[in-house]
Chain A
Amino acid sequence: MKLASEGKANHSPSSTEVQDDWFKWKEKDLGAAESVARPSLSYWQDAWKRLMKNKLAMAGLIFLFLLTVMAIIGPMLSPYKVDGNDLPNQFLPPSGDHWFGTDSLGRDVFTRTWYGARISLFVGLMAALIDFFVGVVYGGISGYKGGRTDNIMMRIVEVLYGLPYLLVVILLLVVLGPSLTTIIVALTVTGWVGMARIVRGQVLQIKNYEFVLASKSFGTKTKRIIRKNLLPNTMGPIIVQMTLTVPSAIFAEAFLSFLGLGIQSPFASWGVMANDALGAILSGYWWTLFFPAFFISFTMFAFNVLGDGLQDALDPKLRK
């Protein structure tokens, strides 16, 4: 009963007569129809906007920015030297004088931590850059040439890919002797393979698109096609791969230094500091391990979440 009465009430106003002046002819507004509602964004602007929305990735980016700043100015903020032994003052807990305490030889952990940050960031970035150059050239050629060339080049990659990465690195370090340069060389000797595979896969796909054909029909040289048409369109996966290379290189450096194959004491790297702290931690000198361990874990964490964020942001399929 109630429903019926309501229905009646709703209908009654519309039952008034339809008048002509309710309707009027409207000119077609061509300008409005063609106008773009949202500002036009380039691929990179769009990716950046989406990355900004990812809070975890942004936190990672900010952390890495601060870490870079501290790696540059950190050692200057403290009066102590990286290899400044001061035996009477060993194992001092964190205090106003030594913000992160001192280690088994009385060295300032604060200073050493930022030196370690320099080493880690340097190794990570160099490894990523070298992998990038070698991988892009190799993968680009292999993917673009295709056929026999591709087949042979990929067989080589497959064999290299099968080699146990860290074992080869260890072998090289044993022979070449431990130093920063050797570590970077050893890490990149087989490290570029992953990048080459990704670039090749991308190039193989993109080279068959119409815009490449169009470019070719204009008589564009191969070199220019690779540089101007193919590479910019493969940049997304390449950047993601680079972001993920950095933490694995940082881990490898710390791992090797921890085994005594990397950077040698008195120079500081986070791996060396963790190795030095191994005996001290059982006696309760937690700060000797805590700071290098904290920063290495957070740096890797930051690069990993940034890489994940970039992966989502740079994927055109997820574009809204």
Chain B
Amino acid sequence: MARYILKRLLMMIITIWIIVTLTFVLMKAVPGSPFNEERTTNETVQANLEAHYNLDEPYIVQYLLYLKSIVTFDFGPSIKQPTETVNDLLGRGFPISFELGIVTIIVAVISGIILGILAALRHNGIIDYVAMSFAVLGISIPNFVLATLLIQKLAVDWGLFPPATWSSPAHMVLPVIALATGPMAIIARLTRSTMLEVLTQDYIKMARAKGLSPWKIVFKHALKNALMPVVTIMGTLLAGILTGTFVIEKIFAIPGMGRYFVESINQRDYPVIMGTTVFYSAFLIFMLFLVDIAYGILDPRIKIHKKGGGE
């Protein structure tokens, strides 16, 4: 197990290093410096500005400085809003985005699993049919379309929920629905198909022969094994939810990290783009690492394999 974790850890560090380097190279490849658009600053001012941001050093020095700043978790100032640093933006926006993300994941996982189990237990029945049509629709409708429809119907026409911003639990309902529907649909489909497979196994027949109730069979015996594939795709789902927050926060005017990110892209605020991308990537890669570890712990076959034949 320790070797497995160590290998994953190394992999994670390499991946983060690649994304950091990629970000640096791409930002240096952008034509022009951040200071020579619109306002014409005079030469001394420009030189001073460049010295201030270390832009006059050779690339290799800049790269090392950049690596150092990443390791010390200091992403530097925002160029467009000089009074703020990228850390300020992250500190302000990330908790909100994190809250949105966590609630979304919880909603998506719970409702997806329940929907999948119901569909599997009533295989080829009405519930199965309805749940799966719902799931395919959920996968097909882009979250930004769903978000706009929800605002139009539930918020504007019927006035059930507030249409925008982020201040009370009621404000969370629409963004979370818009963001959770896609992942929920994916989880529901996956749970259904693995559940159907697991339900044909001998140990389920055994449990049935012992006279256990269907619900006990599902929750005590089948669910644990049916959920393994769900754990494996958690990484992909997390990535989807994270990028989904960009549009959702834009549509619902939620002051989270995603909105700052989109704004920084539109304003070409490179330090913010770099900082946010690196932060998001590192966060996501770390989550993938945790998912991998969880998978290693949950699936006994991996441990047996390791004990038996090693790598």
Interface residues of chain A, those whose CB is within 8 Å of chain B, are 158-159, 162-168, 170-172, 174-175, 247, 251, 254-255, 258-261, 274, 277-278, 281-282, 286, 289, 293, 296-298, 300-301, 304-305, 308
Given A171-B26, A274-B144, A296-B142, A164 and B137 contact (CB-CB distance below 8 Å):
no
Assuming the contacts A159-B15, A159-B18, A278-B251, asked whether A258 and B144 have C-beta atoms less than 8 A apart, the reply is: yes
Residue of B nearest to A289 (CB): B148
Query: Are A259 and B26 in contact (CB-based, < 8 A)?
Result: no
Please give me the residue from chain A that is nearest to B276 by CB atom.
A167
- B:139-179 near A, CB below 8 Å: 139-142, 144-145, 148-149, 151-152, 156
**Using a CB–CB distance below 8 Å, which chain B residues touch chain A?**
11-12, 14-15, 18-19, 22-23, 26-27, 29-30, 136-137, 139-142, 144-145, 148-149, 151-152, 156, 239, 242-243, 246-247, 250-251, 262, 265-266, 268, 273, 277, 280-281, 284-285, 288
**Contact A159-B14, Cβ < 8 Å, known A171-B26, A274-B145:** yes
Out of A171, A261, A300, A301, which one reaches B22, CB within 8 Å? A171
Q: Which listed residue, B19, B26, B243, touches A163 by the CB 8 Å rule?
A: B19
Give the interface SS of chain B, mostly helix, strand, loop or mixed: helix
Q: Which of A164, A259, A274, A301 contacts B284 (CB 8 A)?
A: A164
Contact B250 A259 (CB under 8 A): yes
Closest to B284 in A: A164
Do the beta carbons of B280 and A164 come within 8 Å of each other? yes
Taking a contact as CB atoms under 8 Å apart, the answer to whether B15 and A297 are in contact is no
A259 pairs with B151, CB closer than 8 A: no
Which residues does chain A contribute within 8 Å of B148, judged by CB atoms? 274, 277-278, 281, 289, 293
Top 5 closest A-B pairs, CB basis? A301-B140, A300-B140, A166-B243, A162-B15, A293-B145
Given contacts A159-B11, A175-B26, A282-B152, contact A165 B140 (CB under 8 A): no
Docked-complex contact B136 and A296, CB < 8 angstroms: no
Whether the Cβ atoms of A162 and B26 lie closer than 8 Å is no
The A-B contact count (CB < 8 A) is 111
Given contacts A164-B280, A175-B27, A300-B142, contact A261 B136 (CB under 8 A): no
- Distance (whole angstroms) from the CB of A120 to the closest CB of chain B: 11
A to B CB contacts below 8 Å, 13 in the list = A159-B11, A162-B15, A163-B15, A163-B19, A164-B19, A167-B19, A167-B280, A174-B268, A259-B247, A300-B142, A301-B136, A301-B137, A301-B140
In the complex, the chain B residue whose C-beta lies closest to that of A56 is B136
CB distance from B119 to the nearest CB of A (A): 14
A293 contacts which chain B residues (CB < 8 A)?
A: 141-142, 145, 148-149
Known A174-B268, A301-B136; judge A281-B18 contact (CB<8 A): no
Which residue on chain A has the smallest CB distance to residue B17?
A159
A251-B26 in contact given A260-B266, A305-B136 (Cβ < 8 Å): no
Query: Measured between alpha carbons, how far is A222 from B22 in the docked complex, in Å?
Result: 36
User: Cβ of A167 and Cβ of B15 under 8 Å apart?
Assistant: no
Cβ–Cβ < 8 Å partners of B18 in chain A: 159, 163
Q: Which residues of A contact B242 (CB under 8 A)?
A: 164
* Contact residue among B12, B30, B145, B285 (Cβ-Cβ distance under 8 Å from A296): B145
Give the shortest distance, in Å, between B126 (CB) and chain A (any CB): 16
Excluding A164-B239, A175-B29, A278-B251, 7 further A-B contacts by CB distance (< 8 Å) are A162-B15, A164-B19, A167-B281, A174-B268, A255-B243, A297-B137, A298-B140
CA distance A82 to B136 in the complex (A): 32
Q: Determine if A172 and B26 form an interchain contact, defined as CB atoms under 8 angstroms apart.
A: yes
Given known pairs A164-B239, A175-B26, A293-B145, the reply for A261 and B265 (CB within 8 Å) is yes
Contact between A162 and B288, CB atoms less than 8 A apart: yes
Contacts of B277 in A (CB 8 A): 167, 170-171
Min CB distance, A85 to chain B, in Å? 23
Residue of B nearest to A247 (CB): B140
**Chain B, Cβ-Cβ closest to A260:** B266
**A297/B141 in contact, CB under 8 A:** yes
**A304-B140 contact in complex given A158-B11, A167-B243, A175-B30, C-beta closer than 8 Å:** yes
Residues of A within 8 A of B140 (CB): 247, 297-298, 300-301, 304
- Enumerate chain B residues within 8 angstroms of A308, measured Cβ to Cβ: 136
Minimum C-beta distance from B214 to chain A (A): 27
Q: Is the CB of A259 within 8 A of B246?
A: yes
- CB B132 to nearest CB in A, in angstroms, measures 10
